[in-house]
Structure 1
């Protein structure tokens, strides 16, 4: 197996492969700490959702019942602007804040298209992280319950033999990370030329240096398709020319303040005094009762492991996820976090585009992110679905 693909860890493009990490000088963030301070302007559910009802869309009755069973009565802004054009078969580039309902915005039209011709319809949703892929399939299953539509997720870090069995049946929705999808295509197990609809979720990350070559290979293998959808919270201007080659006569949906931080998030910094022990400041902060469910971001895997261990040692239940952990371990940590078995989830940026936990009270940046886009995606784990969240960034 080509492990460089299935683990979804892109090599350094400038070195053509492995890098001796001891020879690489550690980068430091150049972002201005003032960017991380902003008062929340809570819009609440009213600002998050529109007045348009899902029942006005003419959807399949069972699909509509599933949507309503999830507690969705009215559309979010991104859904109001996206779903009808997508039902009409249009290509689309859509930009909207994290937690604004983008996943349902493309899954609902996909389900409607699949119901019309399930034997001949396949949608491929490509994501940059395993967690995001699993989250998307979970959302699909809840929306498509009882509709006799089938899906599977193909990601690195899992036993490829189980993928063989899943591909023996007709799948209307395939979700995956680029490396594993290409492996399955190379083995003649996944027939990419049968894909009708291609979705690149978090497309800004999918089209950056780490993934773009694999994405181009996937697109070439798919060939002619009915629909291409690009969804993300941020847009990298340098990617516009590449985007234009992927889309045909697209509709562009850019929700107000897309690419910026969520207005529902209270953002602040904590300066670490000279000579102070940073971990002690963190532990004192997290012990506060209001820190109900916390995601703690670091830049390195080693530090994530160390912080999780130290937090547990001082009586704060914590777990960690990053690229060196097995997929089963990562799944268990997220499940424990959702259930409240652990209060702090320590993560590298692998989690910034894959954790959809509705009640994350705080995001803490133990280390500064390298880019503003990374910051937006990190803090977007809180303040979701109209709720107020809190983001705290440590500054030296």
Structure 2
């Protein structure tokens, strides 16, 4: 299990021999393409001389992905695990309209201070904004931590473990860092800004309402 770049690095240093593997699994395939890993994925496929099976998992599927799938797979079979609303019927979604002159952070603080907000995944646009928001929450008495690209893997794992164990109430995250989050009991997802794309929105709010449970997702609109 590894990122495309890391696998290619290990293969080039003869630490790993990709030609001996018969099955390739590409998880979060749509995000891989968004992050520019398409060439790395093609190189990995080209190195797998004995590849017999390829499985791709994605929350979304657009024309770019379909074109690439057509190039790397033969007679692919599509399996859909949900129907209807792609955002999930068990997720209560709403917007929080911020009026001119209204203190956005105070609105957020009032929300997460409620006992109803048991385990909150809070999305910010950038890692710098995530750091600032996390600091403000902690200063206001809301136990919080953060995961983003400026944090080491160990620091991100510690933050995630604290979140899972209920030691912190709010986990502030960026889109990329949140991709590996697998916590079954997230009560709320909050978008502090409107996501740039609908696909990003789907991925974000999909972190709540899992395993048959209900969840709530709120998006701040300035």
TM-score normalized by structure 1?
Answer: 0.55
Query: Aligned partners of 2:86, 2:176: CA distance in 1, in Å?
Result: 20
1:176 corresponds to: 2
Query: Aligned partners of 2:195, 2:83: CA distance in 1, in Å?
Result: 21
Distance 1:258 1:193, change over 3 A: farther
Residue by residue over 1:325-360, the C-alpha shift from the partner in whole angstroms, topping out at 9 and shown as x without a partner, is 100000000000001111000000024421111100
Residue pairs, 1:113-262, within 5 angstroms: 175-208=1-34, 210-257=36-83, 260-262=86-88
Query: Aligned partners of 2:21, 2:69: CA distance in 1, in Å?
Result: 19
CA contact (8 A) 1:197 1:225 kept: yes
Query: Aligned partners of 1:229, 1:344: CA distance in 2, in Å?
Result: 34
Residue by residue over 1:285-339, the C-alpha shift from the partner in whole angstroms, topping out at 9 and shown as x without a partner, is 1001100000000111111000110101010000000011100000000000001
Distance 1:311 1:264, change over 3 A: same
Query: Aligned partners of 2:160, 2:85: CA distance in 1, in Å?
Result: 26
Query: Aligned partners of 1:258, 1:208: CA distance in 2, in Å?
Result: 25
Query: Aligned partners of 1:213, 1:326: CA distance in 2, in Å?
Result: 26
Deviation at 1:223, TM superposition (A): 2.9
Look up the SS of the partner of 2:19 in the other structure: helix
1:301 counterpart = 2:127? yes
1:267 corresponds to: 93
1:285 corresponds to: 111
TM-score normalized by structure 2?
Answer: 0.96
Work out which of the two has the higher radius of gyration on C-alpha atoms and give 1 or 2.
1
Deviation at 1:257, TM superposition (A): 2.9
2:208 corresponds to: 382
1:395 corresponds to: 221
Query: Aligned partners of 2:84, 2:159: CA distance in 1, in Å?
Result: 30
Residue by residue over 1:153-181, the C-alpha shift from the partner in whole angstroms, topping out at 9 and shown as x without a partner, is xxxxxxxxxxxxxxxxxxxxxx1111111
Which deviates further from its counterpart, 215-224 or 256-265? 256-265
Query: Aligned partners of 1:209, 1:329: CA distance in 2, in Å?
Result: 22
Query: Aligned partners of 1:250, 1:232: CA distance in 2, in Å?
Result: 14
Look up the SS of the partner of 1:268 in the other structure: strand
Query: Aligned partners of 1:393, 1:352: CA distance in 2, in Å?
Result: 17
1:335 corresponds to: 161
Deviation at 1:208, TM superposition (A): 3.5
Query: Aligned partners of 1:270, 1:236: CA distance in 2, in Å?
Result: 29
Deviation at 1:256, TM superposition (A): 4.0
RMSD: 1.3
Deviation at 1:258, TM superposition (A): 6.9
CA contact (8 A) 1:201 1:231 kept: yes
Query: Aligned partners of 1:255, 1:339: CA distance in 2, in Å?
Result: 29
Look up the SS of the partner of 1:337 in the other structure: helix
Structure 2: runs of 5 or more not aligned: none
Structure 1: runs of 5 or more not aligned: 1-174
